[in-house]
Amino acid sequence: MAIAQYKLGEKVATRDGYGDALLGLGEKHEDIVAIDADLAKSTKSIVFGKKFPDRFKYVGISEADMVSMAAGLALSGKVPFASSFACFVVNRGLDQLRISVAYSKTNVKIVGSHGGILTGEDGPTGQEIMDLAIMRSMPNFTVICPADYYETVAATYAMYENAGPFYMRTCREKTAIFYEGVPEMKIGKAVVLAQGADGAIIATGGLVEQAMKAQEILKGKGLSVSVLNVPFLSPFDSKAVGEECRKGAVVSAEDGTVNGLGSAVAEVIAEKGIDCRLARVGLRGSFAESGKPAELLEKYRMNADAIAQELLKVKGEDRI
């Protein structure tokens, strides 16, 4: 299976990167199996299922059972990729994720699609906003939130190539392509997408696109701001984040509660004693609602304009 070719700036959903990469891995590695909680067409694991029906299983609307099955498959020598909507697999399968996967250190790969309010019209019950905060606190889990199609492909490869529990969030909404091909991915490492000396935007997943747009807005206002893409919430690249925070003005941006990436950045600032003002873009103490993704980002102040404005605030300026 050849990975699809896209141009910089084209819009593609990260869930498509997962489906394509899983199929490609399946063609090379017979130990890979895939299971899904009746949402394979949406998570894109169906791409694997159609090619390898004998290595694919629908488990029904039973996410806790799916996680337990994945743990059993891992203990029998398989490499299971278990997929569902993030709101279901994380919340309904939490006890099994904690005991059967994290505590037991089983080689299980969990993929939660439809992450964040970019899920849009599905509404607050289908928009998973807490998964990054929950999963980054789970011992032994590597937690990934890729920014584009190609980074998702790289993340899926990394999940297979590295033993142990993994959780990856993907998105339904199409987001911009940032890489010219599948990048080299190092576990726990962040990536600088834009250089700047006047401050930094530290973003993950679907909001990396908004961060890059905010960087352009600020450039037009005379500010040189860097953008740090953080695909790994755990392990966390404290070194790279710390370097950005030493610029003195930082905005974190994530599609969900600010207790994921935002809290991780705040911990780096506090623990390293860095003199830095931080604004955390994301949801604070509330769910969102049903609506078009762009309108939701605007209403909940998570779009490029809001990110740029927050950066100006932490710098004590008002140019918008």
3-state secondary structure (DSSP) of residue 145: coil
Q: What is the pLDDT of residue 2?
A: 67
Phi (first) and psi of residue 129, to 5 degrees:
-110, -5
Can you list the positions of beta strands (E) in the chain? 11-13, 32-36, 56-58, 79-85, 109-113, 142-144, 166-169, 174-176, 191-194, 199-203, 225-229, 232-234, 249-257, 277-283
3-state secondary structure (DSSP) of residue 117: helix
Whether the Cβ atoms of residue 170 and residue 258 lie closer than 8 Å to each other: no
Place of tokens 């890979």: 32
- Strand (E) or helix (H) holding 23: helix 14-28
Whether the Cβ atoms of residue 265 and residue 245 lie closer than 8 Å to each other: yes
Residue type, 100: S
As a whole number of angstroms, the distance between CA 95 and CA 104 comes to 12
Q: Residue 178: CB partners within 8 Å, gap ≥ 6? A: 8, 147, 148, 150, 151, 193, 208, 209, 212, 229
Domains and CATH numbers, the chain: 11-176 (3.40.50.970), 191-314 (3.40.50.920)
Side-chain-side CA neighbours of 183 within 13 Å: the count stands at 22
Q: Residue 117: CB partners within 8 Å, gap ≥ 6? A: 127, 129, 255, 256, 283, 288, 293, 296, 297, 300, 302
Tokens for 171?
């998105």
- Strand (E) or helix (H) holding 229: strand 225-229
The closest of 285, 286, 282, 284 to 307, measured between CA atoms, is: 282
- pTM for the complete prediction? 0.97
Helices (H), 29-148: 40-43, 46-51, 63-75, 86-92, 94-96, 131-136
Whether the Cβ atoms of residue 129 and residue 116 lie closer than 8 Å to each other: yes
Q: What is the DSSP letter of 308?
A: H
Active site residues: 63
Q: How many CB atoms lie within 10 A of CB 82?
A: 31
Strands of the sheet with 249-257, listed across from one edge: 191-194, 225-229, 199-203, 249-257, 277-283
The closest of 119, 131, 170, 126 to 297, measured between CA atoms, is: 119
Q: What is the pLDDT of residue 104?
A: 98
Q: What is the pLDDT of residue 1?
A: 58
For the chain, 320 residues long, give each residue's pLDDT as a single digit of tens.
569 999 999 999 999 999 999 999 999 999 999 999 999 999 999 999 999 999 999 999 999 999 999 999 999 999 999 999 999 999 999 999 999 999 999 999 999 999 999 999 999 999 999 999 999 999 999 999 999 999 999 999 999 999 999 999 999 999 999 999 999 999 999 999 999 999 999 999 999 999 999 999 999 999 999 999 999 999 999 999 999 999 999 999 999 999 999 999 999 999 999 999 999 999 999 999 999 999 999 999 999 999 999 999 999 876 44
As a whole number of angstroms, the distance between CA 256 and CA 185 comes to 24
Handedness of CA 12, 14, 16, 21 (dihedral sign): positive
Tokens for 212?
């890059």
3-state secondary structure (DSSP) of residue 21: helix
